[in-house]
Amino acid sequence: MLAGEEKGHLAYLNHTLEQLRKTGHVTAGDLGTAIPDPKAIRTAEKTLQAKMAAVDPDNDLQMLEQAMELEVETSNFYKRMVRELPPEGQKFFARFVEIEEGHLAIVQAEMDHIAKSGYWFNFREIDLNGA
């Protein structure tokens, strides 16, 4: 589910970049040079694909750790856009920040479950040992 949503984000950003290229603006306002050019997007996509290729698909925890790293990177990018852009651009990326925070929580909950950490969505599960 999360991987599909991330692909949707990339498609949306590519569409917005194309809109900027064709019309000189985007619906949320002029984002100027803050949007990476298509070459930068393709380079980042290749980097992500290479990272994921190095992960053992049969190791669920390793896959989730890699997913967490990618979610953090993506979240940090969107947060930087919110900090650096004018108000119109901030609105454009603010929703992505919210979505990424949800993704981080979901991936962490899955990691906690697999690792049997005793936590579920940052809440301590019942401890039958009385601790």
Q: What is the predicted pLDDT for the residue at 79? A: 92
Distances (CA, A) of 70 to 19, 24, 74, 126: 26, 30, 6, 31
Tens of pLDDT, residue by residue over 2-54, are 565 677 777 778 888 888 888 887 765 333 334 456 787 777 778 777 776 76
Across-strand partners of 120? 123
Q: What is the pLDDT of residue 117?
A: 73
In the predicted structure, residue 124 carries a pLDDT above the cut 80: no
pTM for this prediction: 0.54
Residue 126 confidence (pLDDT) above 70: no
Could you report the per-residue pLDDT of 66-122, keeping only the tens digit for each? 888 888 988 998 898 888 877 777 888 888 898 889 888 888 888 888 877 776 666
pLDDT tens readout for residues 43-53? 777 877 777 67
In angstroms, rounded to a whole number, what is the distance separating the alpha carbons of residues 52 and 45? Answer: 11
Q: What are phi and psi of 5, to 5 degrees?
A: -65, -40
